[in-house]
Structure 1
Amino acid sequence: MKVYDDKHIKNVVFVGAHGSGKTTFAETMLFEAGLINRRGTVESKNTVSDFHDIEKERQTSVFATPLHTEWRNYKINIIDTPGLDDFIGEIISSIRVADTIVTVINARHGVEIGTEIIWSYIERFQKPTLFVINQIDHPTANFDESYKSLSQLVGNNVVKIQYPLKVDGAQCIVDVLKMKMYKFSPEGGKPEKLPIPEDQLEIANDLHNELVERAAENDEELLELFFEKGTLNEDEMRKGIKAGMLNHEVFPVFCISALNDMGTGRLMGFIDNVVPATADLKSIQSVEGKEIVPSKDSPTSLFVFKTFHQPNLGQVTFFKVKSGEVKVNDKLVNSRNGETEILNQLFIMDGEKRESVSKLTVGDIGATLKLKSTETSDTLSSKNFPVTIKPIKYPEPRITRATSPVEKADDEKLSDALKKIHSQDPTVVIKYSKETKQLLVGCQGELHLATISWALRNLYGVEAKFDKPKIPYRETIQRAANASYRHKKQSGGAGQFAQVHMKIEPWHEGIEEPEGFNIRGKEELDLPWGGKLVFYNCIVGGVIDLRYLPSIMKGILEVMESGPLTNSYIRDVRVMVYDGKMHAVDSNDISFKIAGAHAFKEAFLNANPKLLEPTQELVVKVPEDMVGNVMTDLQSRRSIILGIESTGNYQILKSQTPAAELYGYSTDLRSITQGRATFSSVFSSYESVPKNVQDQLVSNN
């Protein structure tokens, strides 16, 4: 394969809502460039991009798939991404390494919730972006409404390069950059280039002049030329559009029919001639503060944006060359763990097809096999240039399930498989809860969970079940209480004896010191599960030796690890040990530990104990016309509405919702809103459980 330099490599990522036609678009680009002889279709399960078995089975993209095409002496690296936000991790990592975002819009629907979710990430990364309105030849397509919805999404920085037109029943595209009309046969392909019809000249000229002005605004030299000549030529316009894209201030809009190969070649030409290449990009700062210059003469650094465990092949590692060049058998150091990796093979990947190459230069995207110590978001660099590129930040899980193997003997097998799944998709979060004694899987939604289950069964041979996770409640008290306990045991020889008197009270931040006690010592413990235990030594006259106080506290802590109401952790209590007795012979550490535990448990039960439940701060983005139904559902889940904000045609609902009430929320929200709403949640706080709920939980324990 020809090695392209940093001026002739273009990295684009296709993003867009489910059903917008990204995979079909990628397939058509490969066909136009002659890299495939026949275009596959999603329905026929034979596209280059959707090659995984689960994608063929579900007829939808699940993974981000790197591809490439070559067009007029340029190499275009394409990453085709899923459209469902359950797979947002695949989208984020792809946006991170792309130089230009190609956002595909379905002309039948315009901007959808999936588009809005993706746009929020594009805004975060501030990447050059263009929009492609697809399916313009569909009977129900509405280009004008789609463009209007784009304007509402991104503001007046969106600008038309093209618009569709029907002439004598034939599909045409008017291009106001080139001021030409492209007329397509029903089969698509190479169009006939024609002058713009007389009845469209005024519209086209107005759009052309608007484009000239927008191009001129982004470059001082072009602005001077514009004032001098009153216009710009095509090359000057390209220069200004590129500058605007790099500044994230111009978003060109194209129109195509990917299915019928209309407009694809023209868009590929625009990618070649206008969208930024690696040579146009600025240097970035490493985590250590070093400058990483995107030049082939710089020291080598690679950023790993994706890993995939492929049966019979092992781990495939996808990377972008951020600086320098990488050659076969290069030794690079992983900045996270200091391990040296040898890149024995280098590939250009097109779906499942691998093409070996001897080297890759700055800006290019490639893959290698069987790295031992490298994961997604890692940086590999030359030994003399140790740098760390800022890792990808992934969203927190939106749903969590407890998992276990159907066959107990598969425990270890399940654990190993889940580690591999997390390795290739960091939005899958695996942790073991010591408190609930459950292995928990966090992910982005029910569909995401279904793909995890499919992978476990079909790729790793593990049948797993997913259940409702136990809620990690907390126990505390509402009033003060006293208790004492005498532990006495005699069975020949030395016995056991200890007597402890204590008072317990609720603790909160800023509480005053207890009154009526002679405080000799104080110890504050930040509990591993949250909250505090504050322990006071109030012993007078040496009735209990100081050496036994740690044992009393140890007994209290053992009770706090398994509270008497629901066996949940206890938090936010202060204890004053103020009296007791000991025996010169029979008292020992174990005796005072037992006495302390029993006294604390008795006092706790007399102190009006209550349950606390974890709550989540829930943020729901929902269309205006569906707010009522979503609020009604939230209130049925014991939510406290914290606020409502407007953004475009959507409302942002913020609520504090008990974690126990969020089981199944992803599915229910999708049902209530026909998939037009999305949500995120983070832990908020522990709050009191209503009495009727507490009584039921205690009775079920």
Structure 2
Amino acid sequence: MSANTKNLRNVVLLGHSDSGKTTLIETMLYEGGAIKRRGSVEGQNTVSDNTDLEHEKGKTLFSHQMFVNWRNNKINMIDTPGFDDFIGEVVSSLKVADTAIIVLNAANGVEVGTELVWEYVEKYQTPAIFVINQMDHPKADYDKTLEQAKERFGTKLLPIQYPYNSGPNFNSIIDALRMVMYEFPANGGKPEKKPIPDSEIDRVNAMHNALVEIAAENEEGLMEKYFEEDYLSEEELAQGLTLALAKQQFFPVFITSGLKDMGSGRLMGFLDDIAPSPAERPARKLENGDEVSYNSDDKTTIFIYKTISEPQVGMISYFKVLSGTLKPGDELVNAENGETERISQLFVAVGKDRIPVTELVAGDLGVTVKLKFARSNHTLNTRGLDRKVRPMEFPESRIRKAIYTDAAADMEKLVTALHKIQEEDPTLKVEQSAELNQTILHGQGQLHLDLVKERLADDFGVKMNFADPKISYRETITGTADADYRHKKQSGGNGQFGEIHLRVENFYEGMDEPTGFNIRQKEIEELPWGGKLAFYWCIVGGAIDNRYIGAIKKGIMQQMNDGPLTGSRCQNIRVIIYDGKMHSVDSNDISFQLAAAGAFKEAFHQATPQLLEPMFAVEILCPDEDTGDVMGDLQTRRALISGMDSESHYQKILADVPLAELHDYGSTLRSITGGRAKFNMKFADYQLVPANVQQALIKKHAQLEEA
């Protein structure tokens, strides 16, 4: 393994599910001599998909780190899942990659999962190489896939290669950079170099000239030579293309058959020759605005991008060395919490296998074990350094489920286990909702949560059940009402007495002050759950002492916390306390607290009460042919369509949808579109619940109260 940052290549493979990433990376490892024979997904013996869950599902569910030595360079590779349910694995892997290989399925073209990862490739400004894979598929269509990719990802895509034939007879690749045709034996492997057929010369020359122009644009001397001689040597081409790729000025397109081992060796050669090393990438931005460069002679900084817990081992940390040279025995300080960690052991990963090493230089990827306080997104430094890498940002959750156990005693064990999994998976969120009296699990999709459920059973021995979460409705009023309420209780000795006269109104910003009242005190309070309470104290003549203001307000707040309609929280209400009575002996705080709650409840019911429901802004990207079905499904969910637009070859639908109607939406959308759509959702606002829905909810609440 190399001890030179310039001889490192950090590559992440991205793409929609079934694009063939795992098979391609297996072939790349084989071509580089890292493995002696190629495994298969069906045979459950690939280096990448090495967990029992992945074998069971037949899909990549986690990111996997591995490496291969190619000529003088070490190429680190990370395989990632293709399902958007596991986007967290993609985001974290991209954070430490210097080049992205985006794998397209030649039969299916650009799929929605590819578009999702492209957003993060652009966000991280990662150099990208496109690979049109599965050229041996009976329905492989190179031209269509390339055209779709250019439509979606722009004209910076420049093909390096194209197939001389495709489909089941695929065995020849025409390479416009090397100006040669590679013809492969039936079983793949090392190709024979052949002259380009005369019929293809014009097409190849045009492709080659486009590559030469891109290379020349990045070096003044190359540009001058190109103008003078209309030619660049292979070495000069490589020099210019490395700069262009590093600056994201072009995205080369290759073709392969990972299954037949055709084209992967040429791809490895391009990574070796052209792909940027960490030394050729921009310095890493820090949270305070400073930068850290990949310099092995500097003091040590590492960034942990992934952590997992393994039985009998404990916490395993995957990281990138950002500066310095890391060795076993080094002590580093966590910039997140100030804790000191000793790097007792140092490894490089080849799938599930870990190979001990004596050092890792700046830019390299590695693994260590049993760090006590370090987790994903943490930066560790040599003592005295003040460096903290900007953290990874993960997308908002798209699904929420209430969780429970068959035995109440197991609930604490379940939550403890979930928090451990959450440390490994930042896209998972565990919420203890006091408002709903439920534990809510937030994730990226049903498949994501199902996987967590299986892990809980297998690794922690805890069985978790799902239920639809309650909805955090809100209650308000649209009218005005007055009410008076007397609380009186006599049971020997001092009794309880308090009488309140109040008015309730709908409150909104900028409304006029109430007329006909002598306002002595006014408070506009931001409620913890959103909305406001406007509390007006308008008592004159000492009908109620000022010392009871706090108790009266507490009684109103208690009633607002447990609303009169459905027990939901109330908001945006103005309460005017304008009269009442007290007793010199029997009045006390509890009396006025109860009187205020009773008066508020009576007035609320008379002031045209209205239930509000949380609305979410949903954005859906789906194929044109599925638009009608998606729209039809949204209409059954009481959605308000706010817009439609086209984005590349997809239709974009914008809608406001009640949260109550979004249960299992991800699964439904995947079923409707065959997995070719994606969506995201975020809270928009609270809106009025339709009358029939409100009546049903009130009735249900009354039945629960009675029960």
Point out the more displaced range, 29-38 or 51-60. 29-38
Offset of 1:200 from its aligned partner? 2.0
Q: Deviations over 1:424-476 (max 9, x none)?
A: 11111111111111111111111112111111111211111001111111111
**In structure 2, what is the equivalent of residue 130 of structure 1?**
129
Partner of 1:427: 427
Structure 2 contact 303–378 (Cα < 8 Å) conserved: yes
Instruction: Work out the CA distance in 1 between the residues paired with 2:220 and 2:601.
Output: 77
Per-residue deviation, residues 665-684 of structure 1 (Å, max 9, x unmatched): 11111122121111000001
Per the alignment, residue 98 of structure 1 pairs with 97
Q: Distance between the aligned counterparts of 1:377 and 1:371, measured in 2? A: 14
Task: Tell me what 1:26 maps to.
Answer: 25
1:229-628 residue pairs with structure 2 within 5 A?
229-628=229-628
Q: Does 1:661 align with 2:657?
A: no
- After TM superposition, the structure 1 stretch with the greater mean CA deviation from structure 2, 617-626 or 97-106, is 617-626
Relative to structure 2, which stretch is displaced further, 608-617 or 224-233? Answer: 224-233
Residue aligning to 1:116: 115
Q: In the alignment, residue 692 of structure 2 is paired with which amino acid? A: N
Return the alpha-carbon distance in structure 2 between the equivalents of residues 558 and 377 of structure 1: 41
Distance between the aligned counterparts of 2:407 and 2:237, measured in 1? 65
Partner deviation per Cα, 1:67-108 (whole Å, 9 max, x = no partner): 111110110000000111111110111111100000111111
Q: CA deviation at 1:595?
A: 0.9
**SS in structure 2 at match of 1:497:** strand
**Counterpart position of 2:87:** 88
Does 2:684 align with 1:698?
no
Q: CA deviation at 1:261?
A: 1.0
Query: Which amino acid counterpart does residue 18 of structure 2 have in structure 1?
Result: G
Partner residue in 2 for 1:645: 645
Give the counterpart letter for 1:688 in structure 2: L
Within 2, Cα distance between the matches of 1:279 and 1:439?
A: 47
Q: Does the CA-based 8 Å contact 2:136-2:169 persist in structure 1?
A: no
In the alignment, the residues of structure 2 paired with residue 52 and residue 449 of structure 1 have an alpha-carbon distance, to the nearest angstrom, of 17
Residue 284 of structure 1: how far off its partner (Å) = 2.7
Distance 1:13 1:656 in 2: 36
**Deviations along 1:456-510, whole A, 9 cap, x unmatched?**
1112111110011111111111111111111122222222111111111111122
Q: Letter of the aligned partner of 1:587 in structure 2?
A: S
Question: Partner letter of residue 387 of structure 2?
Answer: V
Contact between 1:299 and 1:324, CA under 8 Å: does it hold in 2?
yes
- The SS at the match of 1:156 is coil
1:48 equivalent in structure 2: 47
State the Cα distance separating 1:140 from its structure 2 match. 2.2
Residue 555 of structure 2 aligns to a residue in which SS? Answer: helix
Deviates more, 1:436-445 or 1:621-630: 621-630
Question: Deviation string for 1:363-414 (max 9, x for gaps)?
Answer: 0001111111111111111122121101010001101000011222211221
How far did residue 699 of structure 1 move? 0.7
Aligned partner of residue 693 in structure 1, secondary structure: helix
2:171 is paired with a residue whose SS is strand
Distance (whole Å) between structure 1 residues aligned to residue 446 and residue 593 of structure 2: 47
Provide the residue aligned with 1:687 in structure 2. 687
Can you give the 5+ residue segments of structure 2 that lack an aligned partner in the other structure? 702-707
Question: Is 2:168 the partner of 1:165?
Answer: no
Q: Which amino acid aligns with 1:505?
A: E
Bigger mean CA offset, 542-551 vs 132-141: 132-141
Map of 1:208 onto structure 2: 208
C-alpha contact (below 8 Å) 1:6/1:277 kept by paired residues: yes
Matches of 1:376 and 1:18, distance apart in 2: 25
Query: Aligned residue for 1:148?
Result: 147
Give the distance between the partners of 1:314 and 1:351, measured in 2 at CA: 17
Matched length: 700
Question: Aligned equivalents of 1:545 and 1:402: distance in 2?
Answer: 46
SS at match of 1:560: helix
8 A contact 2:2–2:74 mirrored in 1: no
- Hey, what's the Cα distance between the residues in 2 that align with 1:422 and 1:170? 45
Give the Cα separation in 2 of the matches to 1:194 and 1:178.
11
Deviation at 1:170, TM superposition (A): 6.7
**Aligned-pair Cα RMSD in Å:** 1.4
Give the whole-Å Cα distance in 1 for the aligned partners of 2:651 and 2:169.
41
Q: Secondary structure at the match of 1:115?
A: helix
- Which AA in structure 2 matches 1:398? R
SS at match of 1:7: helix
**Counterpart amino acid of residue 114 in structure 1:** G
**Aligned-partner SS, 1:354:** strand
Q: Is the 8 A contact 1:170 1:185 kept in 2?
A: no
Which amino acid in structure 2 is aligned with residue 564 of structure 1?
P
**Whole-angstrom CA distance in 2 between matches of 1:332 and 1:359:** 15
SS in structure 2 of the partner of residue 62 of structure 1? coil
Report the alpha carbon displacement of residue 533 of structure 1 after superposing the two structures with TM: 0.9
Matched letter for residue 123 of structure 1: E
**Counterpart of 2:141 in structure 1: which amino acid?**
N
Q: Distance in 2 between matches of 1:79 and 1:349?
A: 10
1:285 CA displacement = 2.8
Residues 346 and 359 in structure 1, CA contact (< 8 A), matched pair in contact too: yes
Q: Is the 1:405–1:465 contact (alpha carbons within 8 Å) kept by the matching residues of 2?
A: yes
- Map 1:627-638 onto structure 2 (within 5 A): 627-638=627-638
> 1:376 corresponds to which letter in structure 2?
S
Q: Which amino acid in the other structure matches residue 239 of structure 2? A: K
Deviations 1:33-63 (A, max 9, x none): 2121111100000001100110000110000
Q: What is the CA-CA distance between 1:267 and the residue it aligns to?
A: 1.0
Deviates more, 1:529-538 or 1:228-237: 228-237
Contact 1:61 1:81 in 2 (8 A): yes
Q: Which residue in 1 is equivalent to 2:705?
A: none
Match of 2:704 in 1: none
Say if 1:3 and 1:360, in contact at 8 Å, map to a contact too.
no
User: Residues 55, 599 of structure 1: CA spacing in aligned structure 2 closer, same or farther, 3 A cutoff?
Assistant: same
- One-letter amino acid of the counterpart of residue 283, structure 1: A
* CA shift for structure 1 position 143: 1.3
3-state secondary structure, aligned to 1:28: helix
In structure 1, what is the Cα distance between the partners aligned to 2:130 and 2:389?
A: 29
1:222 and 1:516 mapped to 2: Cα distance? 85
Q: Sort the Cα spacing of 1:253 and 1:499 in 2 relative to 1 into closer, same or farther, 3 A.
A: same
2:8 is aligned to 9
State how far apart, in whole Å, the 2-side matches of 1:21 and 1:141 are: 13
Q: What is the CA–CA distance in structure 2 between the aligned matches of 1:588 and 1:407, rounded to whole Å? A: 44
Q: Distance in 2 between matches of 1:359 and 1:404?
A: 46
Instruction: For 1:658 and 1:139, locate their aligned partners in 2 and report how far apart those are by CA, in whole Å.
Output: 44
Counterpart AA for 2:461:
G
Deviating above 4 A after TM superposition, structure 1's stretches of 4 or more consecutive aligned residues are: 167-170
TM-superposed CA distance for 1:169, in Å, is 5.9
Q: Normalized against structure 1, the TM-score is what? A: 0.98
* Deviation (angstroms), 1:612: 0.5
